[in-house]
């Protein structure tokens, strides 16, 4: 079983992870400190079976987060110290499996997880039986014999930008559009070794797609400049986010994975030193390497595809 934990309390996330791994109940494939960072794409990309989620979180609470999930079919376990019947009732009406009260009780968590795991296994067994019975009485449908469908590059891009902590920023949509444009360039390239187009060319294409084919050159030029500014700002915020992860834990898997892969590591370490001084993130004074970030982001997304 694969688990995902969303709670603004690090100690709670750590405790639940220790219980799951200590009892060999499965694998924790991801965690977030707020519901604003959780969506269908992240859960589906991680192939999550069971989602732990807190009710009360700073930016988006558990109820609103569950409401926003339209494609996630896994089981949901809510955790909170809130005992309001209204909250609990609404949570169950949205389809959660169990409600665990804080402070976390190890025995209760193990018991709940064993019940949820048994239910998942039972549902899977029933589904397999039904599928077998259907296949005995009818030929495969068109959807069953379709070839493998290529994953949408923006879907994986969303997952990576979420890891970088910038999925809600203005520049995040620009970055997703940039990934799409570069992907189209690569698919149409006749060369076996794809050469990245220039950033100016990519930004212009994104601006044209946004403004339409009839847009004036001055309008496109203005939009290109706006895209550059939004992207640079998004990259700066991503550096802050990765640096904050490294500040709290140099062995954080997200920090280890992205700190040197997408950024100039000197910028990340400089931001860590700034955070150590005052604990308040601020935009770095040095310029960001937009070309390296965009090209490395594209390579990383393609790798995950």
Question: pLDDT by residue (tens digit) across 23-58?
Answer: 889 899 999 999 999 999 999 999 999 999 998 899
Q: How far apart are CA 49 and CA 28, in angstroms?
A: 10
What's the pLDDT tens digit per position in 58-75?
A: 999 989 999 999 889 899
Question: pTM, whole model, 2 decimals?
Answer: 0.51
Measured CA to CA, the distance from residue 154 to residue 180 in angstroms comes to 7
What are 53's two structure tokens?
Answer: 């989620």
C-alpha span between 283 and 192 (Å, rounded): 40
Distance from first CA to last CA of the chain, Å, rounded?
A: 22
Q: What pLDDT is recorded for position 36? A: 93
Task: Let me know: does 262 contact 293? Beta carbons within 8 Å.
Answer: yes
Q: What pLDDT is recorded for position 167? A: 82
* Mean local confidence (pLDDT), 12-23: 92
In angstroms, the CA 141 to CA 197 distance is 42
Place of tokens 């189209």: 184
Q: Which of 81-90, 116-125, 179-188 has the highest mean pLDDT?
A: 179-188
Q: Angle, nearest 10°, between helix axes 170-188 and 290-304?
A: 70
> For the segment 199-251, what is each residue's pLDDT rounded down to a tens digit?
899 999 999 988 887 888 888 999 999 999 999 999 999 998 898 888 887 77
Q: Which residues pair with 212 in a beta bridge?
A: none
100 φψ region: left (φ > 0), alpha (ψ -120 to 50), beta (else): beta
Q: For the residues 256-282, what does the mean pLDDT come to? A: 78
Rounded to whole angstroms, the Cα distance separating 209 from 97 reads 44
- Which domains does the chain carry? 2-117 (3.40.50.2300), 153-304 (no CATH)
What pLDDT shows up at residue 148?
A: 40
Q: Mean pLDDT highest for which of 40-44, 121-125, 154-158?
A: 40-44
């Amino acid at each position: 079983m694969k688990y995902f934990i969303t709670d603004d309390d690090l100690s709670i996330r750590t405790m639940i992870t220790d219980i799951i791994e200590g009892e060999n109940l499965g694998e924790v494939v991801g965690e977030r400190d707020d519901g604003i960072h959780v969506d269908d794409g992240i859960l589906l990309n991680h192939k999550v079976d069971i989602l732990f989620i807190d009710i009360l979180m700073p930016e988006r609470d558990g109820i609103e987060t569950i409401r926003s999930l339209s494609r996630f079919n896994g089981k949901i376990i809510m955790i909170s110290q809130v005992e309001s019947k209204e909250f609990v009732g609404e949570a169950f009406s949205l389809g959660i499996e169990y409600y665990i009260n804080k402070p976390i009780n190890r025995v209760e968590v193990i018991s709940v997880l064993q019940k949820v795991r048994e239910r998942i296994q039972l549902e899977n067994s029933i589904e397999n039986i039904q599928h077998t019975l259907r296949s005995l009485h009818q030929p495969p449908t068109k959807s069953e014999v379709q070839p493998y469908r290529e994953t949408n590059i923006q879907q994986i891009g969303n997952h990576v930008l979420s890891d970088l902590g910038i999925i809600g920023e203005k520049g995040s949509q620009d970055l997703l559009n940039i990934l799409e444009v570069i992907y189209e360039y690569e698919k149409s390239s006749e060369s076996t070794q794809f050469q990245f187009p220039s950033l100016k060319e990519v930004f212009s294409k994104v601006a044209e797609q946004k403004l339409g084919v009839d847009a004036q050159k001055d309008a496109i030029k203005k939009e290109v400049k706006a895209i550059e500014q939004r992207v640079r700002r998004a990259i700066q915020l991503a550096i802050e986010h990765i640096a904050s992860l490294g500040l709290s834990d140099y062995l954080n898997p997200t920090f280890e994975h992205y700190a040197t892969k997408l950024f100039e590591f000197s910028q990340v370490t400089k931001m860590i030193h700034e955070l150590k001084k005052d604990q308040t993130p601020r935009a770095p004074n040095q310029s960001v390497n937009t070309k390296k970030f965009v090209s490395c982001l594209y390579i990383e997304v393609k790798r995950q595809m």
